[in-house]
Chains A and B, each alone.
Chain A
Amino acid sequence: SQTIHQWPATLVQPVGSPLSLECTVEGTSNPNLYWYRQAAGRGLQLLFYSVGIGQISSEVPQNLSASRPQDRQFILSSKKLLLSDSGFYLCAWSVGVYTEAFFGQGTRLTVV
Chain B
Amino acid sequence: SQQGEEDPQALSIQEGENATMNCSYKTSINNLQWYRQNSGRGLVHLILIRSNEREKHSGRLRVTLDTSKKSSSLLITASRAADTASYFCATDPNAGGTSYGKLTFGQGTILTVHP
Contacts and interface: CB of A to CB of B under 8 A. Distances in A.
A44 B19 CA distance: 23
Contacts of A110: none
Contact of A49 (B45, B100, B104, B106): B100
Contact of B43 (A42, A90, A97): A90
Interface residues of B, number: 28
Contacts of B35: 103
B31 A34 contact: no
B96 interface: no
B99 A98 contact: yes
A82 interface: no
A99 B48 contact: yes
Contact of A44 (B45, B48, B50, B105): B105
Contact of A103 (B30, B43, B99, B107): B43
Interface string B87-115: 01010100000111111111110000000
Interface of B: 2, 4, 30-31, 33, 35, 40-45, 48, 50, 88, 90, 92, 98-108
Interface of A: 6, 32, 34, 36, 42-46, 49, 51, 59, 88, 90, 92, 94, 97-106, 108
Given A97-B100, A99-B48, A100-B45, 10 more contacts: A43-B4, A43-B88, A43-B108, A44-B88, A51-B100, A88-B40, A94-B101, A98-B50, A103-B35, A106-B40
